[in-house]
Structure 1
Amino acid sequence: MKTTKKLGIWMDHSIAHLMEFTSKHFEIETIESNLTTDLQHESVVKNKNLTPKKETKQLFDYYKKIAEAIKNYKRVILFGPTDAKIELFDLLSEDERFLKIKIEIKNTDKMTENQKHDFVREYFSKA
């Protein structure tokens, strides 16, 4: 019996926790956005925020890293408290490589690590 590769991603605009759903333990990968670090650094150095163009580029680079991780899965659940998951979904929807991947979005609050694992386990156990 072939197992479908499933991935849960809790994310906001600063960090993404990628959790592969397996019958054993969770494999967790973390991808961080440079956005918050640069915002803090630049506000100290220049005493102003990033330009919208630079902010958009950094978010695009962050989403691109997550997309690279997603491309080897068959089912993905994006969840978290911000619109980052929707922005990523919109980006993936425009790319042919992701058309055969079933990607769903769920709104959640901030979660502990155990709550994230439970959410992914429960989500894929029902499906």
Structure 2
Amino acid sequence: METKQFKSVGIWLDLSKAHFIGYHEGEAQFLETLISPHERIKREEGEENDTHQFSPNPEHMSNNEYRKNNITQNELNEYFKMLENKISAYDDILLFGPGTAKDQFKNRIAENKSMKNKWVSIQNSDKMTDNQLLAFVRDFYKS
């Protein structure tokens, strides 16, 4: 089956990856997995904790928090932009998974005028096996 015939998609997502599961006429099928550029733990050489980075000069210490936050936000924006490009072909979108990534992504979709006519739903779920992901999407769209 081609992905173009799927008008409904379930996306299990967290901050590290997103699994796309297409749904059409009672059948659910894995479409693809998108890996996020977001890194949870960033350490640079010479860094002892998240707040200070030491240079060769022992008198110079810099607060690293602002720079790390900017990097994280840019990575998340890039990840969400990649997701937006992938979902443009679908009319019905189910976002599910652990954490707050699905809520952040739904808010981003709501701000995008080109996504205004899309139907988006959010469900909470934990980590699942491949078969559980398929069953979750199938059961959601059947009811």
TM-score (norm 2): 0.77
**Structure 2 match to 1:76:** 93
Q: Identify unmatched segments of 5+ residues in structure 2.
A: 51-66
Q: Percent identity?
A: 28
Normalized per residue, the structure richer in strand is 2
Residues 9, 22 of structure 2: 8 Å contact kept: yes
**Structure 2 match to 1:34:** 37
Instruction: Quote how far apart the aligned CAs of 1:28 are.
Output: 2.0
Q: How many residues align?
A: 121
Distance 1:46 1:119, change over 3 A: farther
Instruction: Name segments (4+ residues, structure 1) moved above 6 Å.
Output: none
Structure exhibiting the larger radius of gyration computed from Cα positions: 2
Instruction: Quote how far apart the aligned CAs of 1:65 are.
Output: 0.6
Moved more, 44-53 or 108-117: 44-53
Distance 1:122 1:57, change over 3 A: same
Normalized per residue, the structure richer in helix is 1
TM-score (norm 1): 0.86
Q: Identify unmatched segments of 5+ residues in structure 1.
A: none
The two structures, once aligned, show a CA RMSD in angstroms of: 1.9
Distance 1:34 1:45, change over 3 A: farther
